[in-house]
């Protein structure tokens, strides 16, 4: 409808354009005609080549009138790990995604998001001009990358048929083979490449023969098939079913250890779970003060789009101020945000020094939350009205040679009668009292104590966890911390004062900036600041994700367990378990010298892709026989891996490498076979928010367009699921075929197609708790769920299919926003204690040094695996510069094929601080050489303010050698390299191997085993 108001708006816009047009008349004409995007203008629409609207809403009746040529489907974007709920416009005739915007039901894309009960038509109306605030109240968006990555679907460099390498590994020459040949060869093996026999999957799936003779702890030979994934895009349950329960391999890992794993590990230490690594996020809208350390709200991280929206709102409409502590000034701090935001530069990789300085000041000035910290257990916390509790008051054994060193003192240690096993849950933790150690009870306990406790074996020295943390904080003066991190002492004190001036409405947040050589302790120290002010589970403090409606084991179907399933066993390939469990340790101990181990072990870490690369290359703890990459790219992502890749190219080191991927990236480039896979809007899956959403949320993804991969002889599209089902059936593995999926009554249903699995998952999501309503015919028609309606009916029972259709029509299942808070606390709370002292951490011995490590936050300079300081090997006098990595909101490691993004930012220059540039005679635009002990790269310098002294910052996502940046020959056709895709540099080329490791391996954090890319020692020179 055109009304007077619209006409006025249009006039104002034209006026503005007219003014702008004085200097840019040509550009304006092109924009108006749509030429800027290279399209031929159609001149049909007011704004050049804008698309015909997907629907309209009658302003009088509110009726939604769909455009019959376009579908508007709610599904999921996987342009990054945020996995937002989005709506895609599909050109039905051409099977083409036209545009991507947000799903108004989804908190990942909308705030406030609409009630789940709203019909699809109401959701359309909410976003139209007929909706609240002219549709702006429920405005729902995709980010710039989300709008661009749809191009990946039609990327001409997609792999659509199975490929087999021709010639040596890594030579980028391939032949297309049939799906049937692919399955036959990888299952049966043989002399596949004329290089000698390669064991096939059937032979490797041996559940009897040990993976390592004489070392039964590593489980069976089946473990020699190792699987590397990227992020769980909602399809990992399918993979894990095949890998663990059917094939019987225990070796599966994801990319976290070379992404943001150090932060998650440090958080996991405090949350008491090193494997799941829970983390909380600030309650952005209700907090009054937030410190973002090594992360920029709205720039990157997960969920960066939602965080960006909330921060913008909170600093405008609410009461939020924040400080970004980062070596580089980014767009989280800008002029329009005025006094609400500040930037504090810091030396890369030294955030622990900042956090410990703040802690020191907080201890010295008694700015910690006694009421929270003094509650020693759940009962006491409840009685005191607290939302959580910590182990700050628990006594810890601190006598170095005592067998319980680093552990918390328990009732059994002092001879108390307990109704269960020693050190089980029945064995109480002990706190101090005037009468000596007493079990945790229903009231507060002393925060600080150091002295002795009487045990059956005599007295033992103990301290409270908080006393130990205070000791660590007091180890250095604020001036010394200031020297280490480069932040003036008065700024450190100012940060601590401000942070402790808002009660519980303050928070610290971090993420990828912790990927340094001290990353684990830096992260543990930062998150501990939250615990010292007791902000967890409070509105305005920090909160965990609200959870989700899981798909895999629900009221309707069990997608996890099945008849004949096996239990995968054996120590994992990445050595993230105690070294003491190995035969190597026992043998060395018997010989009187248990330490050092032949390589590092990381008992306080999750699965470690970084260490897998080292394990693959060195064969420690054993050699793999088959490596599967699934949509993952460690060869691009792991700093320093360039030094190990040649080993992986040798088929004797890993005889079979299979990549399941829609593209030939740097990792699939060294594979033997590539299994084509679906992209984005062609795939199935379910995902939950990592954090930052306080209500339950499950985002559903379904093929809103027909996938492009070739079909097999049975007429099915080839992809990951087709491949796994076919190989499982050929090997006769349990869990696939006609009788594979039990329902609630124990009846078995088939698993012969991807639909058999995911659609039953949708039924689980729909039926959990109070089931969702049935999708109406209108819901199904408006969202084009009609496309999959026959599958829904074929797979599900009559009373299930319309409920599953609701999940797809609304793009998931979302708890209503009102459930976020219960009065002044989070509704979905983290109910375990915060660990001021983590006894698993404080009691283990580092495998390569044999030393104990602190069980609480501390500041430690970066170390290598043998415990020596990195600066002792690479002194600052020779390596005065520090290199750091950052991400923009646009590019990531796998989005480069979306060329629309390259039109915005074509490459990544080196960001050099003005002072550093002046010292080396570098001017803006000069070519410079950057050298680390791990590599050299040359690029253009951008000289700017807003970079910490002696720091060079490099954006991640460029400098590719795969994805089409290289020549690729398939059969007789060569896909020539596109220089646009190769543009820029990759910081990981500067990454380092650890020179102190006996078995070759990249430099990683000594506790979390995570990659190091923040704070690489370097030098810089102008070369032209």
Residues lying near ligand SF4 in the complex (CB under 6 A): 77, 79-80, 82-84, 86, 142-143, 145-146, 304-305
Choice between 304 and 620, CB closer to ligand SF4: 304
Q: Measuring CA to CA, which residue among 300, 361, 359, 297 is closest to residue 332?
A: 297
Q: Which is nearer to ligand SF4, 308 or 546 (CB)?
A: 308
Q: Supply the minimum distance, in Å, between the C-beta of residue 1021 and ligand SF4.
A: 37
Minimum CB separation from ligand SF4 for residue 100, in Å?
7
Phi, psi of 455 (to 5 degrees): -120, 175
Q: Cβ 144 to ligand SF4, closest distance in Å?
A: 7
Number of H helices, E strands in the chain: 28, 40
Contact of 565 with 734, CB cutoff 8 Å:
yes
State the DSSP H helix or E strand holding residue 494, giving kind and residue range, or none if neither. Answer: helix 489-499
- Least CB distance to ligand SF4 at residue 82 (A): 4
The residue among 145 and 813 lying less far from ligand SF4, judged by its C-beta, is 145
Angstrom distance (rounded) from CA 640 to CA 517: 13
Q: What residues pair up with 492 in beta bridges, in sequence order? A: none
The smaller minimum CB distance to ligand SF4, of residues 440 and 901, is found at: 901
SS3 call for 697:
strand
> Least separation, in Å, of the C-beta of 308 and ligand SF4?
9
Q: Smallest distance from the beta carbon of 472 to ligand SF4, in angstroms?
A: 37
Nearest approach, Cβ of residue 541 and ligand SF4 (Å): 25
Buried b (16+ CB within 10 A) or exposed e, 690-714: bbbbbbbbbbbbbbbbebbbeebee
CB of 329 to ligand SF4, least distance (A): 22
- Cα separation of 978 and 601, whole Å? 42
Inter-residue contact 358 to 529 (CB < 8 Å)? yes
Nearer to ligand SF4, 142 or 368 (CB): 142
Least distance to ligand SF4, CB of residue 306, Å: 8
Q: Beta 626-630 vs 225-229: how paired, if at all?
A: parallel
253 beta partners = 228
Q: 671 with 658: CB under 8 angstroms? A: yes
CA distance 575 to 582: 10
Query: Which 8-state DSSP code applies to residue 620?
Result: S
Nearest CA among 766, 768, 764 for reference residue 779? 766
- Look at residue 909 and give its three-state secondary structure: coil
CB of 127 to ligand SF4, least distance (A): 16
Minimum CB distance to ligand SF4 smaller for 79 or for 811: 79
Q: Measured from the CB of residue 423, what is the shortest distance to ligand SF4 in angstroms?
A: 44
Pairing relationship of beta strands 289-293 and 506-510 according to DSSP bridges: parallel
**Residue bearing tokens 């070379």:** 258
> Among residues 229 and 530, whose Cβ is nearest to ligand SF4?
229
In whole angstroms, the minimum distance from the beta carbon of 412 to ligand SF4 comes to: 50
Q: Based on CB atoms, which residue is closest to ligand SF4, 303 or 651?
A: 303
**Residue appearing with tokens 């007219």:** 18
Q: Closest approach of Cβ 323 to ligand SF4, in Å?
A: 24
- Give least dist CB 123 to ligand SF4, A: 18
**What's the closest the beta carbon of residue 689 comes to ligand SF4, in angstroms?**
11
Nearer to ligand SF4, 723 or 894 (CB): 894
Q: In 204-230, which positions are buried (b, 16+ CB within 10 angstroms) versus exposed (e)?
A: bbbbeebbbeebebbbbbbbbbbbbbb
Instruction: Measure Cα distances from 667 to 235, 258, 531, 653, 663 in Å.
Output: 20, 14, 41, 16, 10
Nearer to ligand SF4, 267 or 892 (CB): 892
In terms of CB distance, is 79 or 248 closer to ligand SF4? 79
Closer to ligand SF4 by CB, 634 or 889: give it: 889
Q: What is the spatial distance between Cα 63 and Cα 130, in angstroms, rounded to a whole number?
A: 10
Distance CA 341, CA 352 (A): 22
DSSP 762-806: HHHHHHSSSPPPPPPHHHHHHTTTHHHHHHHHHHS-TTTHHHHHH
Q: Which one, 230 or 675, has the nearer CB to ligand SF4?
A: 230
Secondary structure E strands in 428-474:
430-431, 438-439, 450-455, 458-464
Nearer to ligand SF4, 86 or 853 (CB): 86
- Residue 543 DSSP SS3: strand
The token pair that represents 919 in the structure block = 């010292």
DSSP track, 949-1016 = TTEEEEESS---SSTTSS-EEETTEEE---TTTT-S--GGGG--B-TT-SS--B-B-TTT--B--BSE
- For residues 683 and 677, what is the distance between their CA atoms, to the nearest angstrom? 9
For ligand SF4, which is the closer residue by CB, 109 or 615? 109
* Between 252 and 681, CB nearer to ligand SF4: 681
Q: List the alpha helices (DSSP H) in 189-251.
A: 201-204, 236-240
**In the complex, least distance from residue 896 CB atom to ligand SF4, rounded to whole angstroms:** 13
Q: Which helix (H) or strand (E) holds 347?
A: none
**Whose Cβ is closer to ligand SF4: residue 153's or residue 947's?**
153
β-strand pairing of 450-455 with 458-464:
antiparallel
The rounded distance, in Å, linking the Cα atoms of 381 and 372 is 7
Residue 143 C-beta: closest distance to ligand SF4, Å: 3
CB of 259 to ligand SF4, least distance (A): 14
Kindly give the pairing relationship between strand 881-886 and strand 968-970. unpaired
84 versus 724: smaller Cβ distance to ligand SF4: 84
């Amino acid at each position: 409808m055109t009304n007077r108001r619209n006409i006025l708006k249009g006039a104002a816009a034209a006026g503005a354009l007219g003014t702008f047009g004085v200097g840019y008349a040509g550009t304006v004409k092109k924009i108006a005609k749509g030429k800027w995007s290279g399209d031929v203008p159609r001149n049909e629409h007011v704004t050049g080549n804008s698309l015909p609207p997907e629907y309209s809403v009658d302003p009088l009746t509110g009726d939604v009138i769909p455009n019959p040529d376009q579908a508007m489907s709610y599904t999921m974007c996987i342009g990054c790990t945020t996995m937002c709920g989005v709506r895609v416009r599909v050109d039905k005739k051409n099977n083409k995604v036209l545009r991507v915007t947000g799903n108004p039901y989804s908190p990942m894309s909308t705030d406030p998001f609409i009630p789940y009960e709203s019909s699809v038509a109401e959701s359309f109306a909410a976003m139209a001009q007929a909706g609240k605030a002219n549709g702006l109240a429920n405005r729902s968006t995709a980010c710039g990358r989300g709008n661009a990555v749809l191009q990946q679907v039609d990327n001409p460099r997609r792999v659509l048929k199975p490929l087999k390498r021709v010639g040596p590994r890594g030579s980028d020459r391939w032949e297309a083979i049939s799906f049937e040949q692919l399955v036959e060869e990888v299952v049966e093996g043989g002399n596949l490449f004329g290089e000698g026999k390669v064991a096939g999957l059937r032979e490797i799936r041996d559940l009897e023969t040990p993976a390592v003779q004489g070392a039964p702890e590593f489980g069976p030979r089946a473990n020699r098939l190792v699987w590397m994934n990227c992020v769980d895009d909602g399809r990992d349950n399918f993979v894990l079913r095949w890998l663990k329960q059917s094939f019987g391999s225990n070796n599966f890992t994801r990319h976290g250890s070379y992404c943001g794993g150090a932060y998650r590990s440090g958080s996991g230490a405090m949350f008491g779970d090193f494997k799941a690594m829970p983390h909380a996020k600030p309650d952005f809208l209700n907090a009054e003060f937030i410190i973002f350390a090594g992360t920029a709200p709205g720039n990157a991280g997960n969920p960066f789009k939602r965080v960006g929206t909330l921060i913008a709102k909170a600093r405008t409409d609410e009461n939020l101020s924040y400080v970004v502590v980062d070596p580089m000034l980014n767009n989280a701090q800008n002029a329009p945000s005025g006094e609400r935001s500040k930037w504090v530069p810091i030396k890369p990789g030294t955030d622990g020094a900042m956090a410990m300085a703040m802690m020191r000041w907080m201890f010295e000035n008694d700015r910690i939350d006694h009421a929270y910290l003094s509650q020693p257990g759940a009962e006491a916390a409840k009685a005191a009205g607290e939302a959580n509790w910590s182990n700050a008051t628990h006594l810890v054994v601190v006598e170095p040679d005592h067998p319980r060193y680093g552990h918390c003192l328990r009732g059994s240690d002092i001879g108390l009668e307990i109704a269960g096993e020693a050190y089980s849950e029945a064995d109480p933790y002990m706190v101090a009292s005037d009468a000596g150690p007493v079990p945790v009870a229903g009231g507060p306990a002393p925060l600080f104590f150091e002295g002795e406790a009487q045990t059956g074996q005599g007295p033992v020295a103990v301290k409270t966890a908080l006393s130990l943390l205070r000791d660590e904080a007091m180890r250095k003066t604020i001036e010394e911390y200031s020297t280490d991190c480069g932040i003036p002492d008065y700024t450190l004190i100012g940060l601590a004062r401000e942070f402790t001036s808002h009660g519980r409405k303050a928070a610290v947040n971090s993420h990828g900036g912790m990927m340094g050589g001290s990353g684990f302790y830096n992260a543990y120290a930062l998150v501990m600041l939250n615990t010292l002010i007791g902000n967890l589970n409070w509105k305005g403090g920090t909160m965990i994700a609200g959870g989700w409606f899981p798909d895999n084991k629900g009221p309707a179907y069990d997608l996890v367990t099945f008849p004949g399933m096996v239990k995968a066993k054996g120590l994992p390939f990445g050595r993230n378990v105690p070294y003491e469990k190995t035969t190597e340790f026992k043998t060395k101990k018997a010989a009187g010298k248990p330490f050092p181990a032949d390589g590092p072990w990381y008992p306080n870490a999750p699965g470690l892709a970084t260490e897998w690369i080292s394990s693959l290359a060195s064969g420690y703890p054993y050699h793999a026989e088959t490596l599967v990459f699934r949509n993952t790219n460690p060869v691009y992502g792991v700093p320093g891996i360039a030094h190990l890749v040649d080993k992986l190219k040798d088929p004797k080191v890993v005889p079979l490498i299979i990549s399941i991927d829609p593209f030939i990236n740097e990792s699939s480039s060294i594979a033997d076979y590539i299994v084509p896979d679906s992209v984005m809007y062609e795939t199935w899956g379910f995902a939950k928010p990592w954090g930052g959403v306080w209500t339950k949320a499950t985002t559903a993804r379904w093929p809103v367009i027909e996938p492009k991969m070739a079909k097999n002889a049975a007429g099915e599209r080839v992809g990951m699921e087709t491949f796994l089902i076919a190989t499982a059936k050929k090997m006769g593995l349990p869990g696939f075929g006609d009788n594979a999926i039990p329902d609630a009554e124990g009846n078995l249903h088939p698993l012969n197609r991807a639909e058999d699995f995911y659609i039953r998952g949708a039924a689980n999501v729909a039926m959990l708790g109070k089931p969702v309503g049935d999708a109406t015919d209108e819901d199904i028609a408006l969202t084009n769920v009609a496309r999959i309606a026959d599958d829904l009916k074929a797979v599900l029972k009559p009373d299930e299919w319309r409920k599953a259709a609701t999940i797809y029509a609304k793009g998931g299942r979302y708890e209503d926003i009102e459930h976020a808070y219960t009065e002044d606390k989070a509704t979905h709370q983290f109910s375990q204690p915060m660990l001021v002292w983590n006894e698993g951490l404080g009691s283990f011995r580092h495998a390569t040094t044999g030393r104990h490590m602190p069980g609480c936050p501390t500041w430690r300079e970066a170390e290598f695996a043998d415990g020596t300081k990195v600066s002792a090997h690479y002194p600052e006098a020779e390596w005065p510069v520090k290199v750091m990595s950052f991400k923009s909101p646009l590019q990531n490691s796998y989005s480069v094929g979306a060329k629309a993004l390259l039109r915005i930012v074509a490459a990544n220059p080196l960001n050099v601080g003005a002072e550093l540039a002046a010292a080396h005679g570098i001017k803006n635009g000069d070519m410079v050489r950057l050298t680390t002990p791990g590599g050299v790269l040359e690029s253009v310098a951008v000289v700017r303010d807003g970079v910490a002294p002696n720091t060079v910052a490099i954006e991640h996502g460029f400098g590719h050698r795969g994805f089409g940046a290289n020549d690729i020959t398939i059969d007789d056709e060569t896909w020539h390299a596109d220089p646009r895709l190769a543009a820029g540099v990759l910081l990981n080329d500067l990454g380092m191997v650890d020179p102190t490791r006996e078995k070759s391996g990249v430099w990683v954090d000594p506790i979390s085993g995570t990659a190091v890319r923040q704070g690489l020692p370097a030098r810089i020179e102008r070369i032209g």
